[in-house]
A and B are shown apart, each in its own frame.
Chain A
């Protein structure tokens, strides 16, 4: 805006020149037509970080905490990508821990009281399901007494998933070879049946 006024010779600007401090003959800094640099040079260097025992200890605490969180059941991994065809041995692969804690089935004995009440007042199925989800999730998280048994199971199951799953089958996991290494080698013979 200042440049526009200056070029035309009409010195009408939205703010008074003298008040803000630009005197008549002074040149304004050139206007910049590109975004500011990503790492602009700093005139003042930042202060160094505080050192000391306390700081070191908190640093160690922080890193240990991060490491510990990765090994807890709260660290959720995304689903492994599914292969194109369902294989018989997929049933026996531990692709994800069997979290039957989230398989809440309506009508389970432990959640009888609240669910009975809810099912009486429920309008139709999807809402009932979601209410029950919320019932059980609230029970699981906040520990209401009426769901204590279910939630104890759930807590136990969340933690001991791997072992429980491995107990279920009597076969060694590696026994069930998918056969994918075998099929992957011979890509050109697609008309032959793959066993």
Chain B
């Protein structure tokens, strides 16, 4: 857990869950697994607030509990997960992807689940139907069944999964007769059980949900009270109590990875090649496990049959495209055999490595100029080079090449490797070679990305705090305007209220909004780089 990671997680927790959860969360991240009393003592927060924070963190999957390390009698220990908290940065991307794939209904389902962490299917469907009904015209409302259909589709394509039921420490016999529990889970099960180890992970429960979304109108306060009381006293059962759902981030990541590969092919080659790669990836979606190095082999005949109908390219042209893709130095597609007109695979890990390499090269280019980027690319390709060889191959004058190499060396993007000729490592009799190691450099850049996002968030908070007075004033005026408009006021009153903000203040507000939007947008875009680098590092780790 590096300092940058902890700092970033702290900022994310603070923005979304408040200061108390931030304190507890960062304490857990810094100090590893802790039990409840230790957390209370060391953070100095009252016991009930700590309990609440832990509940919130567990609800959102950011914290897990397990039996103590000292044996079955020791208290429960809680452990926060840094990766899960970092996912908060990617929430807008998940919601937007759901919108492109499943429309507004899918978007709202994913948004609700991300906001609440874990939810039952029935409550999700009801909330989403109500929200959709709000945006529809008068007299129309959303059927529960439509929303349930979209929910089932999301589960079928594995974008949603059930939360795994929990085995409790210190119990010899698991009390739940639910077939979804892992059979024979021992008391001190320290290995974290993934949601996928449960058989019913993707099974949609039989839910009786009949009705339409409710529209909230102006008489909502009285109705809310009555509804609230009714919901408390008489909970409607829909047959799926105890079955909670969460968003399956890994599936979204596979989707993003595929998108990255397809757009890379489109940029490097052309639209038709990217369509071919998209078809290949779509065909092997269900057959390829998430950790696979490459997809299943597909024959050219199959690819030809599965191409989208509006792409009427002939068979020989398809073969030519496939040959082009195989020969391309980026190695997105590989040929694994000749049967069936040629067996082709998409090299997933190699594609990720190439995308990461392109990211590194682009970073060097933007920070140090194109000639330093040339040296960097040269070192990536040729592995180890001496000072003289670098100057020769890169065709850069000696003095400038030296300068650039030293700058890259001081930024730790390039490393020096000593090769002694004699056992006493005498400097005059040692080779000094410059080299670039892609994986450690990617790790270092990933940490830089975390620092970048943390800086962006802090700057945004600073800007907001500076103009707090102005923002509050504008919010109050908006509230006044809204209430005046609702109660039907004359235009003169409205303009009078609007003039309470002076033009320079308006300008200041405008520029503040512009800055905050820019900082927010930058966070989203740095997150895309984070995704690429993280996927690459994870893929390499599995090898």
At the interface with chain A, which of B225-233, B298-306, B322-330, B351-359? Answer: B225-233
Q: How far is the CB of B499 from chain A (nearest CB, A)?
A: 27
Flag if A65 contacts B114 (CB, 8 Å). Answer: yes
Do A135 and B168 contact each other (CB < 8 Å), given the known contacts A15-B427, A16-B427, A78-B20? Answer: yes
Q: Complex Cα distance A143/B20, Å?
A: 25
Which parts of B215-266 form the interface with A (CB within 8 Å)? 225, 228-229, 231-232, 235, 241-244
Min CB gap B471→A, angstroms: 13
Q: Is the CB of A144 within 8 A of B166?
A: yes
Q: Chain B residues near A65: list those with CB within 8 A.
A: 91-92, 95, 111, 114-115
Q: Say how far B373's CB is from chain A's closest CB, in angstroms.
A: 11
A61, B366: Cβ atoms closer than 8 Å: no
Nearest residue (CB) in A for B233 is A156
List A residues 115-167 near B (Cβ within 8 Å): 117-118, 121, 123, 126-127, 130-131, 133-135, 137-138, 140-146, 148, 152, 156-157, 160, 163-164
Complex contacts, B91 vs chain A, CB 8 Å = 61-62, 65
User: Contact: B73 with A114, CB < 8 Å?
Assistant: no
Q: Is the CB of B520 within 8 A of A59?
A: yes
In Å, the complex CA distance between A94 and B437 comes to 60
Contact between B49 and A79 (Cβ–Cβ < 8 Å)? Answer: yes
Task: Please state if A102 and B19 are interface contacts (CB–CB under 8 Å).
Answer: no
Q: Which of A94-108 contact B (CB under 8 A)?
A: 99, 102
Q: Are B432 and A15 in contact (CB under 8 A)?
A: yes
B510 CB within 8 Å of chain A = no
Contact B430 A19 (CB under 8 A): yes
Given the complex, which residues of B lie within 8 Å of A160, measured CB to CB? 228, 231-232
Q: Is the pair B175, A46 in contact by a Cβ cutoff of 8 Å?
A: no
B531 interface residue, CB < 8 Å from A?
no
Interface size on B, residues (CB 8 A): 81
Best-surrounded residue of A15, A137, A148 (most CB of chain B within 10 A)? A137
Q: Which residue of A lies closest to B231 (CB)?
A: A156
Given the complex of chains A and B, what is the CA–CA distance between A54 and B95 in angstroms? 12
CB of A190 within 8 Å of the partner chain: no
Contact between chains at B53 and A76 (CB < 8 Å): yes
Assess whether A49 is interfacial by the CB under 8 Å rule.
yes
Chain A nearest CB, measured from B271 CB (Å)? 19
Q: Is the CB of B170 within 8 A of A74?
A: no
A13 to B427, CA, bound (A): 8
By the criterion CB–CB under 8 Å, are B432 and A137 in contact? no
Complex interface: chain B residues within 8 A of A83 (CB): none
Q: Which residues of chain A are near B521, meaning CB under 8 Å?
A: 49, 55, 59
Contacts of A8 in B (CB 8 A): none
Q: Are B59 and A74 in contact (CB under 8 A)?
A: yes
| Distance A164 CA – B232 CA, assembled complex (angstroms) | 10
Residues of A within 8 A of B53 (CB): 76
Across the interface, do B366 and A72 meet the contact criterion of CB distance under 8 Å? no
A44 contacts the other chain (Cβ, under 8 Å)? yes
Contact A47 B366 (CB under 8 A): yes
Distance of A31 from chain B, by nearest CB (Å)? 13
Give min CB distance, B253 to chain A, whole Å. Answer: 17
B368 at the interface (CB under 8 A from A): yes
A3 at interface by CB-CB < 8 Å: no
Interface flag for B501 (CB, 8 Å): no
Give residues of chain A (3-30) contacting chain B, Cβ–Cβ below 8 Å: 13-16, 18-21
Verify if B463 is at the interface (C-beta below 8 Å from A): no
Look across to chain B and name the residue whose beta carbon is closest to the beta carbon of A114: B175
- Our pick among B21, B73, B170, B232 for the contact of A76 (Cβ within 8 Å) is B21
Q: Which residues of B in the span 106-145 have a Cβ within 8 Å of any Cβ on A?
A: 111, 114-118, 120
Chain B, residue nearest A160 (CB): B228
Question: Given A61-B92, A69-B16, A156-B232, does the pair A127, B244 have CB atoms closer than 8 Å?
Answer: no
Query: Judging by beta carbons under 8 Å apart, are A148 and B46 in contact?
Result: no
Are A141 and B58 neighbours in the complex by a CB distance under 8 Å? yes
Q: Are A58 and B168 in contact (CB under 8 A)?
A: no
B116 to chain A, nearest CB (A): 7
Chain A residue contacts of B93, Cβ below 8 A: 58
A173 at the interface (CB under 8 A from B): no
Q: Are B242 and A113 in contact (CB under 8 A)?
A: no
A186 on the interface (CB 8 Å rule)?
A: no
Residue B75 lies at the interface, judged by CB distance under 8 Å to chain A: yes
How many Å from the CB of A8 to the closest CB on chain B? 17
- Do the beta carbons of A49 and B175 come within 8 Å of each other? no
- A–B Cβ pairs within 8 angstroms, 12 of them: A19-B428, A69-B17, A76-B17, A102-B55, A114-B175, A117-B175, A127-B73, A130-B75, A131-B170, A137-B54, A140-B55, A156-B232
Q: Which 9 A-B pairs have the closest CB atoms?
A: A16-B427, A134-B76, A58-B92, A61-B92, A142-B166, A62-B92, A143-B242, A141-B58, A130-B75
Q: Which residues of B contact A (CB under 8 A)?
A: 15-21, 35-37, 46, 48-49, 51-56, 58-60, 65, 73-76, 91-93, 95-96, 111, 114-118, 120, 163-166, 168-171, 175-176, 178, 225, 228-229, 231-232, 235, 241-244, 366-369, 386-387, 398, 402, 427-428, 430-432, 517-518, 520-525
